[in-house]
Structure 1
């Protein structure tokens, strides 16, 4: 694969709802532009972009992959992204690497939640965008209805630069609205042939052409003046205006066709090259110099070298592969670059172009292009690589926080040590996974975006590292406390020949209202308990509080006042007073109305207004309480508190309630008393577990 100049490159992320045909579209483009000899199929597991074993087994895209297509002396880097929201981190990496996102929409399903979400993410990065209306060969395909719904929902200059000839079983071609060039499929020759625009579509093409001209003119004063003077624009002026309008985000072109049959692929590639901006014509990428504010930095091959690492792939045999986009200058093999985030130099040996899993060696990669380098020592996703003379950092990708926890346990005890190594390698690839250690319950907790996300992690551990794991709902970190004050004595006396053991304490136990840790107060008068033994009394209580009297959970919010006791001049010891304190603890807590506490989470839910009733009803079912509601545009924010025990599966619950449109965040808020009925179940369950230990 040869090296291309910046103006001859297009970086296009293919995004959209799961099942809209993104992977098939890229495969079809490659085949009909003669970049591959045979068109792969998802069900056969042989597409260029879905190449790893997880994708083949599940029949869905899981990772972002780079698929360059060379056509008419232009290189189009297609970036295939997953449609499942569980893998949104991969999609965001693909968006960050691209100069325009093409949102694939099914003409059968129309507007789906994935389209809405992807539009929002593209908007957040202020990235140019286009639509591709797919599956026009299917029964019940509706091009006009889909186009109108896009215009109505997104409310900007959405203009069709292509128009279909027929729909469903009658779909046979696509018209380029600007060049007025029609191509119709010839089934006998299995090729697309140029043809005249069907008479019944001439007026529709005129209408679409006028829409494009008006949108272009409104976005450019020079073109607007010419349009007013002459009433028309040349094709070159229209394409130039489209590129400018796309780059600024003011115009969104719409293409159409059928990825499965390949109808429209040549017309699509023409418009990708003519309508989409090359990297040097975009707004650029946000970066900052040292501690300054972020500014837009243009993509320019004449500036010193800089690149943004947008993705990491870890292979247990090959090692780490860092995928990057060159922002300025060029990178050459056998060179030294500077990692601005880590303040380290990195040695670049060989550099690569990628086509799916295929690695193609090259001597240099120019600004605007995408490549990869193996085995960088310090570099990770989000880092900036530069020439030493250009000290800047690119704005990192903002990933959503994972909200679904699962405990992960090795099936074999022999794999316990290996599991953390495997997880850490996968975490290098997937920034949206988090890991934590629950020391109290001896559990490793994996946090993911959703159930499928975590399930794929488990599969990767097995397939990449040979580690089989079990996934379980995490244990809830319950606590115990008391509601009533009590005074008790703990007396430990043991005589068995020689020195005995003697410790005697009187302690007042009370609920503590201003903190969770033990509040220990020494009120001893007259040396009835010698000073050297008082720390042992406190230690005995602290150790005892690790286990409560109801269900064995740690005790919090306890105040203990040592006010009396006695000692023996020979038999008393630190150990004796620790034991006496623990005896007083057990007696006192049983008499002080012990209660079970549960963690309460502060939860904020974002969802369209139409789902509010069901969301609030579900919060109530989860023993939660709504604290308030705040409107945020078309979205409502619900602020509430929900017991942690009820929220482990909330990712799936909210997805079901809102058809995937809702999101939430949560953090620990406080501990509260568990209702009697729930507490009884928890205590009985804990007692059964303790019997088996």
Structure 2
């Protein structure tokens, strides 16, 4: 916690990187050719065409946005034009900086292996590949998980309201795992992240760096919903109001998928019963309706939607009509498909002296945790478990109390799992 929140322990961490991690010269990087899935190896040498990964975007009070890049191969000069192959957009480098802690040195050239900060990038985000326009390549992509926790933030004054919007926009640009939304019913600003500490740090930065005063609500778990049965629906949307009306009929199949599969859409319509220009409307309707489940209004995930038949009208049908029809078909299907509430499950690893093992295991079990393994690490014991995020709020204080401050823990998102029926009823009663 203190490394992230108070800048403690950074130097030992960097020393460990140098001492224990392999040299970049000993590693072969991989990428894919733009426009294909063909994998290629990228030698870490200056002789190859330029390729770099933008691993961090940050706001700077003096030069605006700066993009931190690691050069995998080739050379780079300030003023040159490069290709953002992730977005297929060209960018021109304004200035190039070599960062030394809190000081910076402007440089004209960089080579493979260097880490530099680029000034002047307009549309680059974290995880984008930058490369030679004549030799496009996409480096291994960075995966960013969906947020699992959210809090409401309320600015204290009108001036804070204006500054808060800009601050949250900057922070979201820097951190792809941080999201900002607005609650349509309450009008509140909702920030979402990967854990309590993650959001605490971002709120602290908002107050400290952007001088925004705001009230922060209690953390809320980002639940999800899913289906458990295969269903078919046949829905017709028909509306007539004097002039041109609306008509769309969709026949669809819905089936559950494994956890972490997301949403899959298939079009198997044959014979032109739904013209292909209307299919994007069907898909858009499904994706839109999936943002508001039937149990408690959470996002619906891990299902496949297939449109296999339907009907249209030469005059009254449109993309919008098919979007409306598929939204209604989705809600009908989910209500019949055994909807279930899902909760984020976290991998929790506790390192503790042996004396406190019993209390710690008992506490994890009381939090609906599942103990996966126990092992030795030097003179300490390590307890690995999977625990619902909803039961981990305030855990750090409990752990300190149980172990007299001698135990520590780490927590990472693992997966979404079905909420037990009794817990689901408690959640629904709280939301009612």
* Equivalent residue in structure 2 for 1:414, among 131, 156, 159: 159
Distance in 2, matches of 1:435 and 1:521, equals: 28
What SS class does the counterpart of residue 439 from structure 1 fall into? strand
Matched, 1:381 2:381: no
Distance in 2 between the 1:533 and 1:578 partners?
8
The corresponding residue for 1:443 is 190
> SS in structure 1 opposite 2:320?
helix
Higher helix share: 1
1:406/1:445 contact within 8 Å kept? yes
- 2:121 matched to which residue of 1? none
For 1:183, the equivalent position in structure 2 comes to none
Aligned residues: 324
Q: Mark the runs of 5 or more structure 2 residues left unpaired by the alignment.
A: 27-60, 63-69, 76-96, 115-147, 183-188
Structure 1 CA distance for aligned equivalents of residues 170 and 257 of structure 2: 44
Higher Rg of the two aligned structures: 1
Aligned to 1:231: none
User: Does residue 461 of the first structure (1) align with residue 194 of the second (2)?
Assistant: no
Match of 1:323 in 2: none
Q: Could you say if the C-alpha distance between residues 578 and 572 of structure 1 is closer, same or farther in structure 2, counting changes exceeding 3 Å?
A: same
Preserved contact between residue 259 and residue 417 of structure 2 (Cα < 8 Å): no
Q: Is the 8 A contact 1:437 1:443 kept in 2?
A: no
Residue deviations 1:57-101, cap 9 Å, x none? xxxxxxxxxxxxxxxxxxxxxxxxxxx9689845536xx5xxxxx
C-alpha distance in 1, partners of 2:7/2:378? 27
1:435 and 1:447 in contact (8 A); partners too: no
Q: Given the superposition, is the C-alpha separation of residues 642 and 515 from structure 1 closer, same or farther in structure 2, using an over 3 Å criterion?
A: closer
Matched ranges for 1:515-530 at <5 A: 516-530=261-275
Rounded to whole Å, the distance in 1 between the matches of 2:149 and 2:299 is 22
The 1-side partners of 2:421 and 2:233 are apart by: 26
Q: For 1:456 and 1:291, locate their aligned partners in 2 and report how far apart those are by CA, in whole Å.
A: 31
Counterpart pick for 1:547 among 289, 292, 296: 292
Determine the structure 2 residue equivalent to 1:569.
314
Deviations 1:1-42 (A, max 9, x none): xxxxxxxxxxxxxxxxxxxxxxxxxxxxxxxxxxxxxxxxxx
| Residue 129 of structure 2: aligned partner | none
Structure 1 residues 384 and 656, CA, compared in 2 at 3 Å: closer, same or farther? farther
Q: Distance in 2 between matches of 1:477 and 1:660?
A: 30
Q: TM-score, normalised by structure 2?
A: 0.61
What SS is found at the alignment partner of 1:576?
A: helix
| SS, match of residue 620 in structure 1 | helix
- Mapped partners of 1:645, 1:405: distance in 2: 9
| Distance in 2 of aligned mates of 1:474 and 1:493 | 43
The structure-2 alpha-carbon separation of the partners of 1:631 and 1:482, relative to structure 1 and needing over 3 Å to count, comes to: same
Which of 379, 404, 407 matches 1:662? Answer: 407
Which of 603, 608, 612 is the matching residue for 2:353?
A: 608
Aligned to 2:236: 491
Equivalent runs, 1:49-198 vs 2, <5 Å: 89-92=6-9
Structure 1 Cα separation of the partners of residues 203 and 322 of structure 2: 50
Report the alpha carbon displacement of residue 637 of structure 1 after superposing the two structures with TM: 1.2
Alpha-carbon distance in structure 2 between the residues aligned to 1:421 and 1:595: 37
Distance change >3 Å, CA 592–CA 125, structure 1 → 2: closer
1:642 and 2:387 are equivalent in the alignment: yes
| SS, match of residue 598 in structure 1 | strand
Aligned to 2:245: 500
Q: State the TM-score, normalizing by the size of structure 1.
A: 0.40
Q: Is the aligned partner of 1:633 residue 2:378? A: yes
CA distance in structure 1 between the partners assigned to 2:346 and 2:203 by the alignment: 26
Q: Aligned to 2:331, what secondary structure does the other structure show? A: helix
Gaps of 5+ in 1: 1-83, 97-120, 127-284, 294-315, 320-340, 344-376, 394-403, 427-433, 689-693
CA deviations 1:553-592 (Å, max 9, x no partner) are: 1111111222332222222211111111111111111111
CA distance in 1 between partners of 2:357 and 2:381 (Å): 8
